[in-house]
Amino acid sequence: MTNEIVNYIENDIEIDASAISHPVRDVLDKALEGREITQMEAVTLFKANGHADKQAIYHTADLLRQKANGDLVTFAVNRNINFTNVCYMGCKFCNFAKRADEEDAQWHSVEEVLRRCHEAWDRGATEVCIQGGLHPKLPGTYYEELCRAIKAELPDMHLHAFSPFEVWYGASKSRKPYREFLQGLKDAGLGTMPGTAAEILDTEIRKQLTKDKLSTEKWVEIIRTAHEVGIKTTATIMYGHIDAPEHWAAHIDLLRSIQKDTGGFTEFVPLSYQHVGTALYSENPGKVRMGPSTDEIDKMHAVSRIMLHGFIDNIQVSWTKLGPDHAMAMLNRGANDMGGTLMEESISRAAGADHGQEITAYELTQIVRASGRTPARRSSDYRILDIYDDHDPQPLAPLIERGDKDPLDFLKMFPDASSGLEAAE
């Protein structure tokens, strides 16, 4: 291992660098020399179990994060809007979808979506993230019409909307090629797309997750086409169910290969599988795991940073999946972005996540400061809009009542973090 990382480990966490296994040492050496690690080398890192090996992986990821991003930790002020939860695709890992005749089925009018966009704008949002189920009565023109309606009233609001699955659905209903459909969305004001519906980009795994889900080949085709027409996207993985390290490494390697060709991914977002209430788990409790372990979460953020270094340099942590405390910890595992304020969240909550629907900009700033980093507000394409080095965002009450849940409560458990928080305030 290079002297740089050996000194880093010995000085910061006082472990014996000689305890690091040779296979892990060789891979990390290669990464720190600026060379691309292979898919199989990533599997080696994912499967590492020794304490010294894991700490070396985490610190290598943190060092690469420092090289790529410095000490800024970014977030966006945004709002999630799920315009319908009606969907008949039968994804076994999803507990969000409803049938149209169910009591809690929803399909918001365009006017209601616009009301929520205005409400977000008034709270300082620069982005709305819009996705929905594949409602059988939804016309293929709906997506473009919704974009035009929002941009007509809020021309400066960034539209981050519609997964590849929704693009497939809209294009199919419109009887248009993907390129024509995507160009229409862009002309209507679509800014960027979420790279969701990826799950695990492996044919056999996807067949077990759902019988009708968009194929790996179609997902890749739509993402590549979006990039070609000038629509950047995020990249995601949903892990911790029936998958394994080999699938994770292959998935990230495929994303990396797309990025080499298009440069269209803005960030990579690991999404932990949430098992509560899902058919995938209830029908196969002996086969399907209850989500990834803590070690797997840590390694996913770290190894993705190492694999994607120099290609996708923003690694985002999902506080809705992990909670604010574990999300903060990922800032030392290679992550440099806290996602967004969200304001409302439905999909993770439907599958049992209990981490709230909003963390305000002020609260995100306190969490980042308590981690020892500098918080910064960003745009959807990662332009820095404000660096909170000597001031705070305006404190706001949460949009949706959260009862006695306070996302900053966990900081009281850590005297150093609380002291940092008090100093920042």
425 residues of the chain, pLDDT tens digit each: 455 556 555 555 556 788 999 999 999 999 999 999 999 999 999 999 999 999 999 999 999 999 999 999 999 999 999 998 888 776 666 766 677 778 888 889 999 999 999 999 999 999 999 999 888 899 999 999 999 999 999 999 999 999 999 999 999 999 999 999 999 999 999 999 999 989 999 988 888 877 666 899 999 999 999 999 999 999 999 999 999 999 999 999 999 999 999 999 999 999 999 877 677 767 777 888 889 999 999 999 999 999 999 999 999 999 999 999 999 999 999 999 999 999 875 544 444 445 467 999 999 999 999 999 999 999 999 999 999 999 999 999 989 888 778 888 988 876 655 444 333 33
* Domain end position, chosen among 69, 87, 118: 69
Q: Tell me: do 47 and 148 sit in the same domain.
A: no
111 annotated ligand binder: no
Using DSSP bridges, classify how beta strands 384-387 and 374-378 pair: parallel, antiparallel or unpaired: antiparallel
93 annotated ligand binder: yes
Q: Tell me: do 309 and 172 sit in the same domain.
A: yes
Q: Tell me: do 155 and 140 sit in the same domain.
A: yes
CA distance readout (Å), 155 to 109, 152, 190, 244, 290: 20, 6, 11, 44, 43
* Domain end position, chosen among 69, 88, 107: 69
344 annotated ligand binder: no
Largest Cα–Cα distance of the chain, in whole Å?
64
118: left (phi over 0), alpha (psi -120 to 50) or beta: alpha
pTM: 0.92
Number of domains in the chain: 2
318 annotated ligand binder: yes
Helix and strand totals (H; E) in the chain: 18, 10
Tokens read off for 92: 């076994």
Q: For residue 62, what are the domain limits? A: 3-69
Whether 278 contacts 297, CB under 8 Å = no
CB-based burial label for 3 (10 Å; 0-12, 13-18, 19+): exposed
Please enumerate in sequence order all residues whose Cβ is within 8 A of that of 79, keeping only pairs 6 or more positions apart, or say none. 116, 117, 119, 120, 123, 125, 127, 128, 129, 341, 342, 343, 344
94 annotated ligand binder: yes
Distance CA 246, CA 249 (A): 5
